[in-house]
Structure 1
Amino acid sequence: MRTCLSAATAAALVLLGACVIEDASELQGELESQDGWEQPLSGDGLDATLAITSDWGAGYCAEVAIRNAGTATTTTWRVVTNLNGSSVSNAWNATTSVSGSQLIAVAGTHNATLATGASASFGFCATASGSTQRPTLASVTAGGSSSSASSSSSASSSSASSSSSGGGGSGGAGGSGGAGGAGGSGGSGGSGGSTGTGGAAPSGHYQMEDLDRGVVAVRVSNGVYVGWRMFGYEYDPASPSAISYDVFRNGTRIANVTNSTNYLDRDGSATSTYSVKAVVGGVAQASSPAVATWGQNYLRIPLEKPASGTTPSRCDNAGESYSYSANDASTGDLDGDGTYEIILKWDPSNAKDNSQAGCTGPVYLDAYKLDGRRLWRVDLGRNIRAGAHYTQFVVYDFDGDGSAEVAVKTAPGTRDGTGTYLRQGPAASDDDTADHRNAGGYVLSGPEYLTVFGGATGAELATVAFDVPRGTVSSWGDNYGNRVDRFLASAAFVSDLGTGQDASGRPAILMARGYYTRATITAWSFRGGRLTQIWKADSNTNTAYTGQGAHSMVVADVDNDGAQEVIYGASTIDSNGTRKCSTTLGHGDALHVSDFVLSRPGLEVFMPHEDGSKPTYDIHDANSCAVLKQGPVTGADTGRGVAADVLASNPGAEMWTNSTGGLLSATTGSNVGAQPASANFLIWWDADELRELQNNTSITKYAGSTLLGCSACASNNGSKSTPALTADLLGDWREEIVWRESDSSALRLYTTTDVTTRRIYTLMHDPQYRMQITSEQTGYNQPPHPSFHIGGGMAAPPRPDIHVR
């Protein structure tokens, strides 16, 4: 059992958030599930165990568990670890320092007290010059007593990993890079990727990605626009002037930027190259790699379209020809180099809504580098039907090895990125030649799986039986397969085992089935190469959630306890899978969660409703589900609705739908302007903090002109007219947009070139925004929202409580 507390301090090396593990056997089992060796150290009242959790040859990550095996409560603990030649790059869940060749970890106030049998843990990542340089425990101390082990110069490691660097990148403190990762100060990794700032290693609660600087340079009419990332752990709202950025053209410093993370170089040319260095306390840190200048405001990513096909004779639509178009996309750092890749779903032209009969072509998932190199292709096979509600794939680094994985529902006949049929878990003995489709194309029998694929190769890493299974089809609300196969998915920082927040801040995989009637969600961890179910929520055991789901779900920490809840339409599911609240206003087609009402604390949920006997929309407290404002009952099916700050003169966000007129204040509910031209997607694009409207293949200002259009591009999902992806992929905090070209021969990744004086850390280091990116492409695609307000009159954002791996 884990009981966790959250603590925040301003000091960069004090770790934010920790947990007490009351059931030591749970922790020991978890550590034993990881790759690598373990070293126990016992005696004098404390037991400690060090386990290597990931190992990539040039470095490793380790976790240390401390258990009070004595008869009295301890009020502090201290662990000394022999580094044996390795260099620490980051740590979490303890206050750490390096003395000589040893890492000293001291409990914080939040995890110092251990009752008899209780445990705590901390972790760290480090670099090494060889695979034999692995840590050993030297001593563990509590209340003046200690257990010591003789120092060892090396330890062999039995683990193997194909991943790149773990947390903190491949540079260690004072070694080949700085404490922040490869390319840190004092070393030779000047242009290395990952953290590369040379500043203090991030040590907060949530596990976020170890990104590079993301520099982008674009030729514009009056020079070259340059943008770059501020990392979340670099940001300090109390001392914003403590960090600035040097901009280099062709290796020569041309500017020091203090108020933003972009710059217009009026003397730049099409052949110029650019790099950026953070300047912390007046000291220049590591340089980012130099990047070339784009000739236009988009990057073209060539694609490899799958071959066309025809449906088989056993189908009612036998002989139907189909071809492929690029569809929804997501992103993650698949190979651990600090840059994002694109994971793309290919849909056949005969993809179906669940209400429509007919066999479909298979669905493919591709992984692409931004230069168009295809890393792999997963063929989901004939037993996964094509359509917006079937294949929900989730991309994130679930095991903390520094490289993202891809989780998705699979079946017999699925081939991984190496071209091999699934062979793990229940898939080891299945029949991959079986065709479980009925004549109408529905797959209502046969095995169902959840599989995790490796980011770098697409190889199958783990497969388990999909839970919740379909069971009796009619129990979901119809007997032909419409409602049983409505799936949603996301990553989330949930609580473990339903007992409180998980202070490791490690991400879980959420897989959901059903929302019109029965609704189910399961949370899974992927650690040590194994998928383990954390919890399961099922409206069959809590009917208040029946029929409350939407065509999307999002996650957010609505009660500020360091773990994220699941906003499942009109309901909020607690981070441990138990009931939190519901408005009982029923199903809807859109869902938005952020800080929309600035005059009250916490987050709000905006949702339109399909049932004409219910209010057209409502905005409610995300934590209590108390309705703040709601629309009229008109008898209409309100299929579109959006909440965002698009009007500076109105405090907080505005909201609008396709069935009610006007632009409404989320705070007062009053009409404050004309109804926007679209109620679809959103994007931060121009120089101010207001959000722009995104619909089809254009970006427009509210009550203004078109800012970007692409006549050679196409949107996705029919009348939904959604992009492949919007996310903060490159440059400063504003978002990029990815569309497919009309013939699906390439994707286009567009970036803004408007210079702004607003400086915000990359939105990908806001845990809420980053997790909403993982669910953006599921069901009816929804734009992501951060945990704080960006818009007119915004306050300084809070510092994110994160560490990176």
Structure 2
Amino acid sequence: MPLSAPRRRTVAVTAAALLAGLVSAPAGHAAADPPRRVVENLDRGLVAVPSASGGTFLSWRLLGTEYARYGDAIAFDVYKNGRRLNRTPVRRSTTYRDTTPGTGTYTVRAIVDGKERGPSSPALDLAHGYAQIPLAAADGYTVQHAWPGDLDGDGRYELVVSRLSGTRDRPDLLEAYTLTGARLWRVDLGPGSYTQAGGNGANDPAPAAISGSTAIGGYRNDDNVTVYDLDSDGRAEVLAHTAAGTTFADGSQVTAASPANQFVSVIDGATGTERTRQPVPDDFVADGPSGGHFGIAHLDGEHPSLVTKLVTRVGARRGAFRVLFQTWDFNGTDLTRRWKYVVDPATGATGFHQIRTVDVDGDGKDEIADGNYVVNSDGTLRYVVDRAIHGDRFDIADLDPDRPGLEGFAIQQSELGIVSAFPWYYYDADTGERLVTGAHPTSPVSDADLDTGRGNAADIDPDHRGYEYWTSTADVTRPGAGVFNVQDGKVSTTTPSVNFRIWWDGDKASELLDFTRVEKWDPATETSTTVFDPPGVVSGARNATPFYGDVLGDWREEILAETADHTALRLYTTTEPTGTRLYTLAQNPAHRLGWTVRGYLQSTYTDYYLGTETRRVSRPAITLPEGAHRRDDHA
């Protein structure tokens, strides 16, 4: 099958907008202003880290809520022990390097209309170059995933982590920690997290279940846990699948008539105690207990809802997938069902190993993307990509700065006796139209030639507008192999690592994260250079660390990794100066919601174009929760 050329929708764009580099309004964007979605009430996120070039590197947030209100009309003053360090206000960055002698306590103050606001909370001091978070004793356990959330309402993220034993006879654990290393609580997920019960044995035997996958098929592609402030009271809840024997931090347990019964539990993020629970839908009970994914979406465009995806496989363990979505709302007391959608296999919707919750049509409301299909915010099917089947990875973002709306890139796998028609496709995320389609070898040697296991999209070549995408295909003679630009087609016959995209250094192009190292692709030599490789830490399954994303400092992303002896977590942040100033990615809807789904980890993105060509970005349609206390240092 030859590569098909992209077909572009026409859109009127003013010259002024192009010169300013403004993000194009997505296709389908309503004429009226979209709803303003509620986001977390974060603090300044100030960190102080020893600088490689000497002195102390400081980094802090420009909040999305204040950028939405004031745009670029915000500057900052930097203080050490109450003494201002900068001669003129800091305007072009949210970083500063202090070379004055001695140690001290750092704060920053926002400046609006020439007036200073109150001081930020003192900087988180990363004296060793990272935050060290000791793990509670759990011999033989390793950390699988981590979910950031403001559990106590102070504006700083805490971490909820899942810990797996790697055996079939010990339960998975959920634990919460502060970034300064204090352990808050532990939840024992019970025998349902490592044994199978009930049903017809369709998913049994199976490997050990992942965190929150109580009484499920045990696929480590699943998560069944997420962390978010669902009731907008300023403190995040933990949402998890539970079953008989799950023990919360106060010692209370889930009891049920059958060990196969599953529940969605709302766990208090500050204490680890259960607040309420509801049974999961029982549509698939005949096929055994369900695995799946949890995530968060703003289905009404304003308030967050929980999205649960239930998955079983029919018959043998490698049987066909059955998929059901149930969405939930939590008002602080009651967990209520919003809508349910059972995927009809006759539509061709097969699903991937991770969902994405993102606004694909620009109306302010999030849709649920599951690889080759999308479910609307109201629980109806939006589209299935023509002839696409199952794959392990897919990306959705604004990949082309000159094309309206969001695009996607997905890979394809051949399994269950189904052979993919193509190895990958680049598509319109709003409509599902394939814009460019890869091609299989004309004479495949084996089924492996028709199976693509990895793919990634990132802006790695500044000589070509927009993002590049590539797969794990090693044979560069294959027609679908190499690095492709969204506008110019193939730009390299060799490929970089294919795990994750990350913003790490000072420019707006992407770096690449594989294992625990960060690499920079050089398109001139078609080779990668390692720019960060911390010692003493390891990655987990599929070369992934438990988390990466913008949880501290400026807009660039941090890396959370486990020490090689599995006794601690370390959170690393970049110390590279930058002249680029963007509002924190933690308050960008697409980026923040990307943290809420773990499972088979994929790259995180923004919902606006963030790449080499970005000059300015649109102000986000976001707001703080009603009645939220505006912190002293907020502009």
Match of 1:572 in 2: 374
- CA distance in 1 between counterparts of 2:487 and 2:328 reads 37
Contact 2:412 2:420 in 1 (8 A): no
For the residue of structure 1 that corresponds to 2:322, the secondary structure is: coil
Confirm whether residue 348 of structure 1 aligns to residue 165 of structure 2: yes
Residues 664, 672 of structure 1: 8 Å contact kept: yes
Please point out which of 36, 48, 53 is paired with 1:205. 36
1:470 deviation in Å? 3.0
Is 1:658 paired with 2:477?
A: no
Q: Partner of 2:175 in structure 1?
A: 366
Distance in 2, matches of 1:593 and 1:533, equals 27
Aligned equivalents of 1:292 and 1:531: distance in 2?
35
Q: 2: CA distance between counterparts of 1:377 and 1:708?
A: 33
Q: Which digits, 9 at most, give the CA deviation of each residue in 1:639-677, with x for residues without a partner?
A: 100011111111110000012532111234x21135333
Matched ranges for 1:370-381 at <5 A? 370-381=179-190
SS of residue matched to 1:769: helix
1:676, 1:702 within 8 Å by CA — same for their partners in 2? no
- Aligned-pair CA distance for 1:249: 1.4
Contiguous gaps of at least 5 residues in structure 2: 1-30, 195-208, 211-219, 313-319, 442-448, 474-479, 523-527, 626-635
Amino acid at match of 2:132: R
User: How far off its partner does 1:298 sit?
Assistant: 0.9
Q: Which structure is richer in relative contact order (CA contacts within 8 A, separation 6 or more)?
A: 2
Aligned to 1:143: none
* Pick aligned residue for 2:492 from 643, 661, 673: 673
Correspondence 1:241-280 to 2 at 5 A = 242-255=73-86, 256-267=89-100, 269=102, 271-280=103-112
Match of 1:782 in 2: 602
Residue identity matched to 1:366: E
* TM-superposition CA deviations, 1:356-392 (whole Å, max 9, x none): xxx3421100000111111111111001232313442
Which residue does 1:287 correspond to in 2?
119
Q: Distance in 2 between matches of 1:263 and 1:530?
A: 46
TM-score by length of 2: 0.82
User: In structure 2, what is the equivalent of residue 232 of structure 1?
Assistant: 64
SS of 2:422's equivalent?
A: coil
The one-letter code sitting in structure 1 at the alignment partner of 2:495 is P
SS at match of 1:543: helix
1:768 aligns with 2:590: yes
Residue 357 of structure 2: aligned partner: 555
Q: Which has the larger radius of gyration?
A: 1
Deviation for aligned residue 1:741: 0.3
Preserved CA contact (<8 Å) 2:45 2:123? no
Counterpart amino acid of residue 745 in structure 1 = T
Compared with structure 1, are the counterparts of its residues 631 and 455 closer, same or farther at alpha carbon in structure 2 (3 Å cutoff)?
same
Rounded to whole Å, the distance in 1 between the matches of 2:68 and 2:589 is 17
Q: How does 1:383-398 map to 2 (within 5 A)?
A: 383-385=192-194, 386-387=209-210, 388-398=220-230
- 2:439 and 2:577 map into 1 onto residues whose CA distance is 42
The Cα of 1:292 is off from its aligned counterpart by 5.9
Paired residue for 1:173? none
Secondary structure of 1:472 counterpart: helix
Contact 2:347 / 2:384 at 8 angstroms: preserved in 1? yes
Which residue of structure 2 aligns with residue 619 of structure 1?
426
Counterpart residue identity of residue 302, structure 1: P
Conserved 8 A contact 2:221-2:354: no
Matched, 1:487 2:292: yes
1:705 is aligned, of 502, 511, 529, to 529
Work out whether 1:799 is the aligned partner of 2:619.
yes
Match of 2:402 among 595, 599, 603: 599
Answer yes or no: is 1:410 the counterpart of 2:219.
no
Q: Quick check: 1:518–1:546 contact (8 Å CA) kept in 2?
A: no
Which segments of 5 or more consecutive residues in structure 1 lack a partner in the other structure?
A: 1-108, 112-202, 308-322, 351-358, 437-445, 474-480, 495-501
What per-residue deviation string (whole Å, max 9, x for no partner) do you get for residues 275-326 of structure 1? 000001111011102226432321111111325xxxxxxxxxxxxxxx2112
Distance 1:798 1:362 in 2: 46
**Pairwise CA distance, 1:684:** 0.6
Give deviations 1:134-156, integer Å, cap 9, x for gaps.
xxxxxxxxxxxxxxxxxxxxxxx
Q: CA deviation at 1:513?
A: 1.7
503, 508, 515: which is aligned to 1:696?
515
Structure 1 contact 211–338 (Cα < 8 Å) conserved = yes
Distance 2:68 2:190 in 1: 49
Give 3-state SS (helix, strand or coil) of 1:519's partner: strand
Secondary structure of the residue aligned to 1:518 is strand
Do the aligned residues in 2 keep the contact of 1:726 with 1:783 (CA within 8 Å)? no
Secondary structure of 2:276 counterpart: strand
Are residues 1:517 and 2:326 paired?
A: no
1:589 has 2:420 as partner: no
Structure 1 equivalent of residue 568 of structure 2: 746
Instruction: Tell me, yes or no, if the aligned pair for 2:297 and 2:307 is still in contact at 8 Å.
Output: yes
Tell me the secondary structure at the aligned position of residue 490 of structure 1: strand
Alpha carbons of structure 1 residues 607 and 237: separation in structure 2 relative to 1, 3 Å: farther
**What does the per-residue CA deviation read over 1:518-547, in whole Å, with 9 as the maximum and x for residues that have no partner?**
22111111113111111111113x731542
Mapped partners of 1:558, 1:726: distance in 2: 23
Q: Map of 1:119-158 to 2, 5 A cutoff?
A: none
Letter in 2 for 1:625: G
Shift of 1:236: 5.2
> Could you tell me whether the CA contact under 8 Å between 1:573 and 1:579 is conserved in 2?
yes
Identify if the C-alpha distance between structure 1 residues 377 and 605 changes in structure 2 by more than 3 Å, giving closer, same or farther: same
Alpha-carbon separation, structure 1, partners of 2:80 and 2:560: 28
AA in 1 matched with 2:310 = R
TM-aligned CA deviation for residue 272 of structure 1? 2.6
Indicate if the aligned counterparts of 2:457 and 2:501 stay in contact, CA closer than 8 A.
Answer: no
User: 1:273: Cα distance to partner?
Assistant: 2.0
Cα distance in 2 between the residues matched to 1:378 and 1:744: 19
Q: Which amino acid aligns with 2:311?
A: G
Q: Distance in 2 between matches of 1:360 and 1:615?
A: 42
CA distance in 1 between counterparts of 2:101 and 2:58 reads 10
Q: CA deviation at 1:486?
A: 3.8
| Counterpart residue identity of residue 560, structure 1 | G
- Cα distance 1:291–1:325, how it changes in 2: closer, same or farther (>3 A)? same
Cα distance in 2 between the residues matched to 1:675 and 1:243: 43
Q: 1:87-106 counterparts in 2 under 5 A?
A: none
Aligned-partner SS, 1:592:
strand
* Alpha-carbon distance between aligned partners in 1 of 2:90 and 2:241, rounded to the nearest angstrom: 46
1:258 maps to a residue whose letter is R
- Give yes or no for the alignment of 1:539 onto 2:343: yes
Q: Secondary structure at the match of 1:771?
A: helix
Post-superposition CA distance 1:216-244 (Å, at most 9, x none): 0111232111000001022159852x110
- Whether the aligned pair in 1 keeps the contact of 2:175 and 2:187 (CA below 8 Å) is yes
5 Å-filtered alignment, 1:166-245, equals: 205-220=36-51, 221-235=53-67, 239-240=71-72, 242-245=73-76
* Aligned-partner Cα distance in 2 for 1:662–1:728: 30
Q: 1:644 aligns with which of 443, 454, 458?
A: 458
Q: Which amino acid aligns with 1:333?
A: D
CA distance in 1, matches of 2:515, 2:187: 28
Matched-pair contact (CA < 8 Å) for 2:71–2:619: no
Amino acid at match of 2:587: H
How far apart in 2 are the matches of 1:575 and 1:210? 25
Q: Secondary structure at the match of 1:739?
A: strand
Amino acid paired to 1:783: S
* Counterpart residue identity of residue 309, structure 2: A
